[in-house]
């Protein structure tokens, strides 16, 4: 029975499971039987997904959404599965939870962030995400003290889409130089050069660059060793690929509970691997840097009061 449940989690269709069990065991298990067995996962997944997060602080938070098709009220509707991953103060990644929203609206994202905070999510300094408008509005309202880093991979797609084809290779290199700059001053200098040279040739792309500059370069204020893994949501792409692999088998989920059950069980497994695997980031330098930043702010405050 456990083997069948594990096959479902790993993305094997109920049709194949029925055929395999009949071949191996000489007995046929119907799709409904397999589905009923999988319901035993519900309390386990629910407990994990709703667990209290007070044990750790999560300086770095990455959020993303995947659209899944769910059958509701006699129709197949696209729904947003919102997922948060975090890097805790010890440098290990964790999957913090999943919820379903009707869409990627500000209301759905606000509800998601509120749910995380109700579970004692704390210590968030940097949030990395795509630039979906509803997400950003909710993020700024719920994490007012956190820095937002716009995913550079998503930005580059938008930037290239706004660039004429014959200039794409040329401008891609120049945009990458901005993103890979050693500091904010250099990045801005390079950006101004691109604006000056290409403003009239590709005005839409240049406007995209100017409007997004501060958000795509936010990580440049951090120590260099943390920038690469925090400048995109690529760190969760493997997770998304695993979800998509199972989604291609299921295609349409019969209800929301089935999404939470199957995707939630997968996320539990991935979370366990992350927490017991290699440390994702060495956080010592980050916290030393953070303390220096606090001291500098206090010093600047004293100087301004005196002057």
> Which of 6-15, 72-81, 114-123, 174-183 is predicted with the least confidence, judged by mean pLDDT?
6-15
Nearest to 230 by CA among 238, 241, 222: 222
Of all residues in the chain, what percent carry a pLDDT higher than 70? 86
pLDDT in tens, 20-64: 444 444 444 445 544 555 577 788 889 999 999 999 999 999 999
Other C-beta atoms within 10 Å of 248: how many? Answer: 10
Residue 303, CA atoms < 13 Å, CB-side half-sphere: 6
Q: What are the structure tokens assigned to 217, written together?
A: 């370069």
Q: Can you give the pLDDT at residue 38?
A: 58
Q: What are the structure tokens assigned to 85, written together?
A: 């991953």
282 DSSP assignment: -
Q: Report whether pLDDT(6) > 90.
A: no
Q: Which residue has the higher pLDDT, 138 or 2?
A: 138
CA 161 to chain centre: 23
Cα separation, 155 vs 128, whole angstroms: 12
Q: Report whether pLDDT(12) > 80.
A: no
Given pLDDT bands bounded at 50, 70 and 90, which one contains residue 230?
very high
CA 52 to chain centre: 20
Q: Can you give the pLDDT at residue 1?
A: 40
- 123 CB-contact burial (10 Å; exposed 0-12 / middle 13-18 / buried 19+): middle
Q: What is the mean pLDDT of the chain?
A: 87
pLDDT in tens, 179-210: 999 999 999 999 999 999 999 999 999 999 99
Q: Can you give the pLDDT at residue 22?
A: 45
Instruction: Report, as an integer, the average pLDDT of 210-226.
Output: 97
Given pLDDT bands bounded at 50, 70 and 90, which one contains residue 86?
very high
Cα separation, 58 vs 84, whole angstroms: 11
* Every domain of the chain and the residues it spans: 2-50+254-270, 152-232
pLDDT in tens, 138-166: 999 999 999 999 999 999 999 999 999 99
Q: Can you give the pLDDT at residue 14?
A: 45
Instruction: Report, as an integer, the average pLDDT of 81-85.
Output: 96
Q: Can you give the pLDDT at residue 24?
A: 41
Calculate Rg over the CA atoms of the chain. Answer: 23
The answer to whether the beta carbons of residues 249 and 13 sit under 8 Å apart is: yes
50 DSSP assignment: T
Q: Which residue has the higher pLDDT, 297 or 33?
A: 297
Q: Can you give the pLDDT at residue 296?
A: 83
DSSP H helices in the chain: 2-9, 14-25, 31-38, 42-49, 106-118, 133-142, 152-161, 168-179, 184-198, 203-216, 224-230, 237-250, 256-276, 284-306
Given pLDDT bands bounded at 50, 70 and 90, which one contains residue 249?
confident
């Amino acid at each position: 029975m456990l083997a069948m449940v594990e096959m479902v989690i790993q993305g094997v269709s109920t049709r194949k499971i029925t055929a395999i069990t009949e071949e191996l065991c000489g007995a046929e298990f119907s799709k409904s039987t397999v589905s009923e067995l999988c319901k035993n996962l519900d309390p386990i997944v629910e407990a994990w997904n709703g667990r209290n997060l007070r044990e750790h602080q999560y300086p770095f938070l990455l959020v993303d959404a995947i659209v899944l098709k769910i059958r509701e009220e006699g129709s197949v509707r696209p729904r947003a599965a919102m997922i948060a991953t975090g890097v805790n103060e010890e440098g290990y990644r964790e999957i913090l939870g999943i919820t379903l929203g009707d869409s990627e609206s500000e209301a759905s994202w606000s509800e998601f962030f509120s749910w995380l905070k109700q579970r004692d999510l704390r210590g968030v300094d940097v949030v990395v995400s795509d630039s979906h408008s509803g997400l950003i509005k909710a993020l700024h309202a719920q994490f007012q003290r956190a820095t937002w880093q716009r995913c550079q991979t998503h930005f580059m797609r938008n930037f290239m889409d706004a660039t004429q084809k014959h200039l794409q290779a040329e401008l891609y290199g120049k945009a990458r130089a901005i993103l890979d700059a050693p500091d904010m001053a250099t990045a801005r200098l390079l950006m101004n050069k691109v604006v000056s040279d290409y403003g009239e040739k590709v005005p839409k792309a240049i406007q995209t660059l100017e409007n997004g500059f501060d958000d795509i370069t936010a990580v440049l204020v951090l120590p260099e060793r943390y920038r690469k893994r925090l400048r995109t949501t690529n760190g969760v792409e493997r997770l998304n690929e695993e979800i998509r692999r199972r989604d291609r088998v299921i295609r349409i989920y019969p209800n929301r509970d089935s999404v939470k059950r199957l995707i939630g069980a997968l996320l539990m497994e991935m979370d366990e691997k992350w927490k017991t695997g290699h440390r994702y980031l060495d956080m010592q330098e980050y916290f030393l840097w953070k303390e220096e930043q606090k001291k500098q702010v206090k010093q600047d405050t004293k100087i301004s009061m005196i002057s």
